[in-house]
Amino acid sequence: MPNGYRIPPISNSRGSAENFDLSIKSNSKKKKRRTPKKNAVRPKARKPNPVGESQEIVLAIRRGKIDALVIEGAEGEQVLTLQDSDHAYRVLVETINDGVATLDPAGTILYANSRFAAILRSPAANFIGTPLYAHISPADREPLETLISQAGSGSTQGEVTLNVADGRTRIVRLALAPINDSGQGHLCVVATELTELVEANEALRSNEESLQLLSARLLKLQDEERRHIARDLHDITGQKLALQSLTLSQLLARQQMSADSQKLVSECVTLNRQISEDVRTLSYLLHPPLLDELGLSSAVKWYAEGFEKRTGIRVDVDIAANFVRLPPDVEVALFRIIQESLNNVHRYSGSRTAGVQVRATPEKKIEVKVKDFGKGISPGMLNASTGAVAPIGVGIQGMKERIRQLAGKLEITSRVNRGTVVTATIPVPANNAPAASEPAAPQADHAAETGARKQRGSRNKILIADDHELLRRGIRAMFETETEWEICGEAINGQDAVDKARGLRPDLVILDINMPVLNGLAAVRQILRGSPESKILVFTIHDSDQTAAEVKEAGAHGYVSKKNAGADLLRVARDLLNDGRSDSAALAAHTL
């Protein structure tokens, strides 16, 4: 607040009223300027003493205690400010974008620049002399009192909400500090408008959340579309190719065909097998059925096995066979991270070996590590402090987004010519416990049972379980050509197979792994518990060592890939029904 002095009218010797100290006005004319009216110190009425008051005014001006003169004349009051060494400072205070004000200890505004009044949406003319609390929302008055109280002993700052007429919430940061040389406990306040910044941050946060939701939705749709395409390839194209293989094999077995016809049919069988394998590989890469049926452990081992065959890169997999089953979206996310990481190993690392480790940590987290021993990531592409990798595609960004959705963390560490390690960590989902695998049911004495049935002269009963009618029809047509066999029933899903096996007591059950309601391996266990004398032959499009191991663990007696349906199915079934064992069906010897 500028210090001011009022110069009252003084009567001269002629009795007329004139402005006092006209010589000072004329000498100081170049140093005076007309400004808007300001508060001025108004001394108490006293006996006029022109000489003494003149000396006091001069001394006060020299000492910098007077910033303005209020002169009364015939035209009314005029305020003259003195442009001294503080003028540049005052111009700065009046023009800066922050609001500046001076308060007394009670919070009354003694001085404020125009910006301070503008921030509080108050007219400048009526602003000075009002309590600062009057311009603050009631909810923030107590915090403001605390700020003013704290500012008496030192600098402090805080944010308050302004009570403005237009209804828009305004956020202002107030920085308060004591004016130590005032001697009256005055405070300096600097107000910074944060409303637009807060609104911009909120809009940015909202946009970021919207983008994250969109990204999550896109990933989910991508996984659903992959699953849909993979299921169609398996359930439609794959099954039709399997049926075609059965038909071609039956045609090839006919003796009346010419040599040229047999050659053409044989070539068709070979081509059919190659197409079936290509379709199966594409279907598995899009979405491995084992992931849904048997969980992450089996799917990772299967994928690593196929990855080795396709790329020649040896992959060491460290994951427990009875690893905890996780929610489907979590298993899909972790599988995709492993899949993408191994693809990056193949594309960029130059490493001939890789390792995959999946484990549950003591801190109740799931940790996935994929490492290689290749050339690593160049320092210019990897931020060592954050693990961020310069964009080389959408793969790493996709992995980060998947982990973010699971409230996890993705880290990438690399050393030149020493390899790269991708580590994904997520919290263990609630209510997850290790999936206890069902033990394989004890197998009955099949040779004795078969011998007894032959002595009775009865035909062997066969139950066909597959959710595809065309394939069931093709298997039935193939087996009905054998006089010693009888098709006793068909099942359209896993649970239907269990129920019919319990009632029909078949000698042989031929079933698929991928079936609705109850998957094939679970059905194997339940069938053997209820009908241990039955033999089970798994007939599936899945074709890998991992699949064979899962089938053997479930307790099945034989395993035939649908791509070899025509060549192997009848032979393996006959071996199993004759003596309960077939070298061609021995699961331990299964190879792709």
Helix (H, G, I), strand (E, B) or coil at 202: helix
Q: According to the model, what pLDDT value does residue 97 have?
A: 81
Q: Which two tokens stand for residue 121?
A: 């949406």
Confidence tier at 31 by pLDDT (50, 70, 90): very low
Q: Between vectors from CA 229 to CA 226 and to CA 234, what angle results, nearest 5°?
A: 120
304-346 pLDDT per residue, tens? 988 998 999 999 999 987 788 899 889 999 999 999 999 999 9
pLDDT surpasses 60 at 99: yes
Answer whether 531's CB lies under 8 Å from 550's CB.
no
Is the pLDDT score of 130 beyond 70?
A: yes
Alpha-carbon distance of 217 to 214, in angstroms, equals: 5
Q: Which of 136-145, 263-272, 538-547, 571-580 is the most confident on average?
A: 263-272
Domains of the chain, each with CATH number or no CATH: 4-82 (no CATH), 97-193 (3.30.450.20), 312-437 (3.30.565.10), 446-589 (3.40.50.2300)
Of 62, 53, 63, nearest to 9 by C-alpha is 53
Residue 469 φ then ψ, to 5°: -65, -40
Q: What is the DSSP string of 466-483?
A: -S-HHHHHHHHHHHTT-T
Tokens of 431: 């209510």
Q: What is the pLDDT of residue 495?
A: 93
Least confident interval from 94-103, 458-467, 469-478, 580-589: 580-589
pLDDT band at 53 (very low <50, low <70, confident <90, very high): low
Q: Which of 195, 187, 186, 130 is nearest to 160 (CA)?
A: 195
Contact 171, 161 (CB under 8 A): yes
Structure tokens, 285: 């890469």
Q: pLDDT for 285-302, tens place per residue?
A: 888 877 887 889 888 998
Which one has a higher pLDDT value, 560 or 436?
560
d(CA 283, CA 234): 7
pLDDT at 586: 44
CB atoms within 10 A of CB 206: 10
What distance in Å separates the CA atoms of residue 145 and residue 149, rounded to the nearest whole number? 6
Q: 529 vs 234, 438, 442, 498, 499, CA distance in Å?
A: 29, 11, 8, 10, 12
- The mean per-residue pLDDT over the stretch 481-502 comes to 91
Instruction: Please compute the mean of the pLDDT values over residues 13-19 and round it to a whole number.
Output: 39
- What sign does the CA torsion over 288, 291, 292, 298 have? positive
| pLDDT value of residue 588 | 36
Lowest mean pLDDT among 59-63, 70-74, 533-537: 59-63
Longest dimension (CA), the chain: 157
**Residue 276 confidence (pLDDT):** 84
Q: How far apart are CA 285 and CA 222, in angstroms?
A: 13
CA–CA separation, 143 and 130 (whole Å): 19
Do 556 and 529 contact (CB within 8 A), yes or no? no
Q: What does 203-252 look like in DSSP terms, one character per residue?
A: HHHHHHHHHHHHHHHHHHHHHHHHHHHHHHIIIIIIHHHHHHHHHHHHHH
- How many other C-beta atoms lie within 10 A of the C-beta of residue 257? 14
The pLDDT confidence band at residue 95, using thresholds 50, 70 and 90, is: confident
pLDDT tens figures, 366-385: 999 999 999 988 766 665 44
Report the range of poorest mean pLDDT among 39-43, 234-238, 354-358, 389-393: 39-43
Arithmetic mean of pLDDT, 541-569: 80
Q: Where are the beta strands (DSSP E) in 242-311?
A: none
Tell me the pLDDT band of 479, cut-offs 50, 70 and 90. Answer: confident
User: What's the predicted TM-score (pTM) here?
Assistant: 0.58
Q: What six digits make up the tokens of 537?
A: 């032959």
CA distance 173 to 160: 6
**Residue partners of 537: CB distance under 8 A and separation at least 6:** 508, 509, 510, 511, 556, 557, 558, 559, 560, 572, 573, 576, 585
The residue-averaged pLDDT of 236-243 equals: 83
The model's confidence at residue 1, banded by pLDDT at 50, 70 and 90, is very low
Sheet holding 460-465, edge to edge: 485-491, 460-465, 508-511, 535-540, 558-561
Give the other-Cβ count within 10 Å of 55's Cβ: 11
DSSP string, 80-98: EEE--TTHHHHHHHHHSSS
Q: Look at 67-76, 318-327, 473-482, 505-514 and tell me which has the smallest mean pLDDT.
A: 67-76
pLDDT of residue 10 exceeding 90: no
